[in-house]
Amino acid sequence: MRTVVIGPDQKLRLEQRPDPVPGPGDVLLRVRAAGLNAADLQQVLGLYPAPPGWPADVPGLDVAGEIEEVGAAVTGFAPGDRVMALVGSGGHAERIAVPADLLLPVPDGLSWEEAAGFPEAFSTAWDALVAQARVRAGDRVLITGAAGGVGTALIQVAAVSGAHVVASVRSTELHDKVRALADQGSVDVVAPGEEAEHGPYDVIVDLVGGDDCLNRPRLLRTRGRLIILGMLAPVPAAEPWWIYDLMLKRCQLIGSTIRGRTHAEKATLAQDVAAAVVPLLARGRVRVPVDSAFPLDRYSDAYDRLAGTGKVGKVILTNG
């Protein structure tokens, strides 16, 4: 099978490798499409290693495709089933062995590209907003870096939960596309410098980090929640005044990532997403915006697009 591989020089190349052999609890998946994420760029640079048991030199966290083979202990799935999954790595290949308890069904009519853009973004969004930040109807939610895959999912999960969303997007030419992700009137799109004008907030989700991360606690209401999901820009050393803001308002600071969780935790999350979010996708209440798609042999172009600017939604690799 063809596989995108991270070389010792931290450069990507396409290699032929043997097909994986599924274990008793796994399925062998023919990957029709795979999503790209910021974590893939970090893995290429050696900054975000794959969890134990997953290919250390093959990136790719989102996969969607058809089951070709099921392990002896697998029930509930059969060859030919259309499924998608959030995996530890290894998705940028033509085949992958996936534990069956991580699989999500692909709704009828959903394209492979959309399916491949769903697992990581919407698992992260549902877990952060619903399971951890406990978003509810009437909340005011600020999402920073909101034009990317996770950001667009966060907007939609917050909106279908009944919250009013303020999406912070640096590129003003993307504002209309981001605003169109949810029902009219439920999303305001602002530039980063305008975030304070639209507060205070019950929940802030920070996907960016940097200097502004330390200023955002003062934008929270009493008992608000600040959840940090990304750190694209490092947070500088600072005076501890931002901690006083959290203390005075009795706010919660929550940090979260899925990659470092145990397999059992990831399987539980997959079950929750299958029960709560996949039905929303099937009914069209949430959707996966695809920025661009590239065939597997154009992996370099796909990674360049991922690292570039001006995206709304996911970058996808496809297999014929």
State the DSSP H helix or E strand holding residue 69, giving kind and residue range, or none if neither: strand 62-70
Q: Does 189 share its domain with 278?
A: no
Q: Does 40 share its domain with 68?
A: yes
pLDDT bracket for residue 208 (50, 70, 90): confident
Residue ending a domain, among 255, 272, 303, is 255
What confidence score (pLDDT) does residue 184 get? 83
Q: Which of 47-51, 118-122, 206-210 has the lowest mean pLDDT?
A: 206-210
Residue ending a domain, among 214, 234, 255, is 255
In tens, the pLDDT along 32-74 reads 999 999 999 999 999 889 999 999 999 999 999 999 999 999 9
Domain range for 193: 124-255
Q: Does 59 share its domain with 177?
A: no
In tens, the pLDDT along 211-223 reads 778 788 899 999 9
Q: How many CA atoms lie within 13 A of 253 on its CB side?
A: 12
Q: Does 298 share its domain with 237?
A: no
Q: Does 133 share its domain with 249?
A: yes
Residue ending a domain, among 214, 239, 255, is 255
pLDDT bracket for residue 209 (50, 70, 90): confident
pTM for the predicted model, two decimal places: 0.94
Question: What CATH code is carried by the domain that includes residue 143?
Answer: 3.40.50.720
What confidence score (pLDDT) does residue 220 get? 96
Yes or no: say if 192 and 166 are a contact pair by the CB < 8 Å rule. Answer: no
Q: Does 128 share its domain with 246?
A: yes
188-226 burial code (b ≥16 CB/10 A, e <16): bbbeeeebeeebebbbbbbbbbbebbbebbbbbeeebbb
In tens, the pLDDT along 123-182 reads 999 999 999 999 999 999 999 999 999 999 999 999 999 999 999 999 999 999 999 999
Q: ∠20-25-26 over CA atoms, to 5°?
A: 30
Yes or no: say if 141 and 203 are a contact pair by the CB < 8 Å rule. Answer: yes
Give, as one character, the DSSP assignment of residue 41: H
On average, the pLDDT of the chain sits at 94
Q: What is the phi/psi pair of residue 4, to 5°?
A: -80, 125
Output Rg (C-alpha) for the chain, integer angstroms: 19
Q: Does 246 share its domain with 138?
A: yes
Question: What CATH code is carried by the domain that includes residue 48?
Answer: 3.90.180.10
Q: Does 242 share its domain with 174?
A: yes
Domains contained in the chain, number = 2
Q: Does 71 share its domain with 99?
A: yes
What confidence score (pLDDT) does residue 231 get? 73
Q: What's the rounded mean pLDDT across residues 285-311? A: 96
Classify burial at 69, counting beta carbons within 10 Å of its beta carbon; exposed 0-12, middle 13-18, buried 19 or more.
middle
Q: Does 133 share its domain with 81?
A: no
> Which residue, 235, 35, 47, is CA-closest to 124?
35
Tokens of 229: 């999901």
Yes or no: say if 93 and 13 are a contact pair by the CB < 8 Å rule. Answer: no
Q: Does 281 share its domain with 238?
A: no
Cα distances from 155 to residues 69, 179, 204, in angstroms, run 36, 9, 12
Q: Does 284 share its domain with 269?
A: yes
In tens, the pLDDT along 248-284 reads 889 999 989 999 899 999 999 999 999 999 999 999 9
